[in-house]
A = this chain, B = another copy of it.
Amino acid sequence: MTQLIKARNNKITPLMRKVSAGEGVSAEFIRRGISKGTIVLPANKNHTGLKNPCAIGTGVKTKINANIGTSKSCSRISAELEKLNTCVKYKADTVMDLSTGGDLPKIRKALIAASPIPLGTVPIYEIVVSAKKNNTPVEDISVEAMFEAIEKQAEEGVDFFTIHAGVTKSALEVLKKSKRLTGIVSRGGALMAKWIMANKKENPFYEHYDRLLDIMIKHDVTLSLGDGLRPGSIADATDKPQLKELYALGQLAKRARKAGCQVMIEGPGHVPINQIKKNVDIEKKVSDGAPFYVLGPLVTDIGCGYDHITAAIGGALAASFGADFLCYVTPSEHLGLPTSDEVKEGIIASRIAAHAADLAKGVAGAEKIDYSMSRFRRKRNWKKQISLALNPEKARAIHSRLKTNTHDACSMCDDFCPMKIL
C-alpha cells in the first residue's frame, strides 16, 4: 500500500508524522494533502537509508531537487558521491541521479545506499545505455526491456521516477506542425520521440500505463510525469506542443492518483516572467492540483554561466504562484556537467528562490528565519547573522576580509552604519 492509499484510508503513517514535524503543520494536514493528491511523499519502501523524507505540495514548504550524475566524458563514482554529500550539506531536499556514463547500476546503488534524502531517476537513460552496450539502437529496444529496467530500479529503492509518458504520437504530430526554434530539449523526451517515430507505435509508457502504475504502486515509487516537450527557448514557451503534452499529463496524473500511485507533474523549462503564472495555473487546473515540479523556469536564454540565477528568478516566481518543487539549475547548465562547487551554487540559488516564494505564499513559519536574521542585523550581532546564512563559510569569509576599526560595523558602511548613527 502506498502512502496515498493509506492516506485515503484515513491512516496517518509514521512517515506522514515525521515530515509534518519539520513543516509546522499537523500530520493530519499531510494525510489530507496526500489523499487529495496535492501532496506527495516520495519514499520507496526499499530505500532503507531514507533518513530525511519530505512532503512536496500545497501548503508545505517549497522543496528543491539537485541533479547529479555522470555522462560519458565524466563518470567517476567518487565524484558523484562527493556531489551527493554537497547536496546533503547544503540542504537539497531531494536528489536525482541522471547518470548516462559508466556503470549505471553500480553508481545508482551506491548513491541510494548513501542518500539520506529521496532519490529520483529517469529510467529511460539506463534502458538506452544498456541497449547500447548490446549494440541495440534506441528504436529496437523492446517494451519488455523497458519495463524490466523500471521494475529493477523500483526494487533497488529509487523514490521517484521521471517517466515521459506524455510524449505521445499525437503530441509529436502537434510538434511537427509547430515552428519551434529549439525542438525537443529533454533527453528523455528526445529518446521517446525517436522510438515512437521509428516504430510508428504509441509511447510504451502511455500505452501500458496501468502496467507502469502497478510497478510503482508495489514499491510506492512516486511518479513524476516528465515534460519531454518542454520549451527550450523563450521563443517556444507555452506553445502548442508544450500545452498538448501538459493536458495529457493532467489526465495521466488523475489516472495515477485514482489507482493509488503518488504523482507529480514536471514543468518547463524556458519561460518569460509574464507567462509563468499561466503555466502554473494550467498545470494545477488540468491535474486537479498535482504537485508541480519545475525545471527553472529560466526567464531568459542568455544566462549560460549564470543560469542558477536565471532559474532562481523563474523558480521564485513559479513557486510564489503555486509551484511546489524546484529543480535546481547550476552555473554550468547548457555548457557542461557541474562540479561539486557548482552543485553547491545551484542548491543555494534554488533555496533562496524557494524560501522567497514561501514568504510570498505565506507558508507556515517561513518568516521566522528572516525575522531572526534581521533582529541580529539590527543588533550588529555578526556571529549569529553568519550562523543563519545559507553558506556560513562564505558569509564569514566576506565579513572577516577587512578589519574595520569600529569592530561592530561591517566594512561596507563602517562609521556610516545606519544602525549605529541613530
Q: Footprint of B on A, CB under 8 Å?
A: 71-74, 100-101, 125, 128, 138, 181-187, 189-191, 193-194, 232-235, 270, 272-274, 299-306, 308-310, 312-313, 316-317, 320, 331-337, 339, 348-349, 352-353, 355-357, 359-361, 367, 369-371, 373-375, 377-378, 385-386, 388-391, 394-395, 398-399, 401-406, 410-419, 421-422
Contact = CB atoms under 8 A, between A and B. Distances in A.
A273 B359 contact: yes
Given A305-B389, A378-B182, A416-B100, A71 B190 contact: no
A91 to B, nearest CB: 12
22 contacts: A71-B416, A73-B411, A100-B414, A181-B374, A181-B378, A182-B377, A186-B418, A187-B416, A187-B417, A190-B418, A190-B422, A193-B421, A234-B367, A235-B370, A305-B389, A306-B391, A313-B313, A313-B317, A313-B353, A331-B394, A334-B412, A336-B412
Nearest to A376: B301
Contacts of A181: 371, 374-375, 378
A156 B386 CA distance: 41
Given A186-B418, A352-B303, A404 B370 contact: no
A101 B71 contact: no
Given A73-B404, A300-B359, A352-B300, A336 B184 contact: no
A101 B411 CA distance: 10
Nearest to A338: B412
A182 B300 contact: no
B304 A415 contact: no
Copies per assembly = 2
Contact of A334 (B317, B367, B410): B410
A299 B316 contact: yes
B370 A418 contact: no
A264 to B, nearest CB: 22
A187 B413 CA distance: 8
A414 B73 CA distance: 7
Contact of A313 (B335, B356, B389): B356
Nearest to A375: B181
Contact of A403 (B73, B357, B371): B73
Nearest to A138: B421
Contacts of A189: 418
Contact of A402 (B272, B337, B357): B337
Nearest to A366: B300
A408 to B, nearest CB: 13
Contact of A356 (B272, B308, B337, B369): B272
A113 B174 CA distance: 59
A413 B129 CA distance: 13
Nearest to A75: B414
A71 B414 contact: yes
A194 B189 CA distance: 63
A316 B317 CA distance: 10
A331 B388 CA distance: 16
A209 to B, nearest CB: 23
A45 to B, nearest CB: 30
Contacts of A416: 71, 100, 125, 128, 187, 191
A313 B352 contact: yes
A8 to B, nearest CB: 33
Contacts of A128: 416
A410 B336 contact: yes
Contact of A274 (B320, B388, B412): B320
A374 B182 CA distance: 7
A249 to B, nearest CB: 18
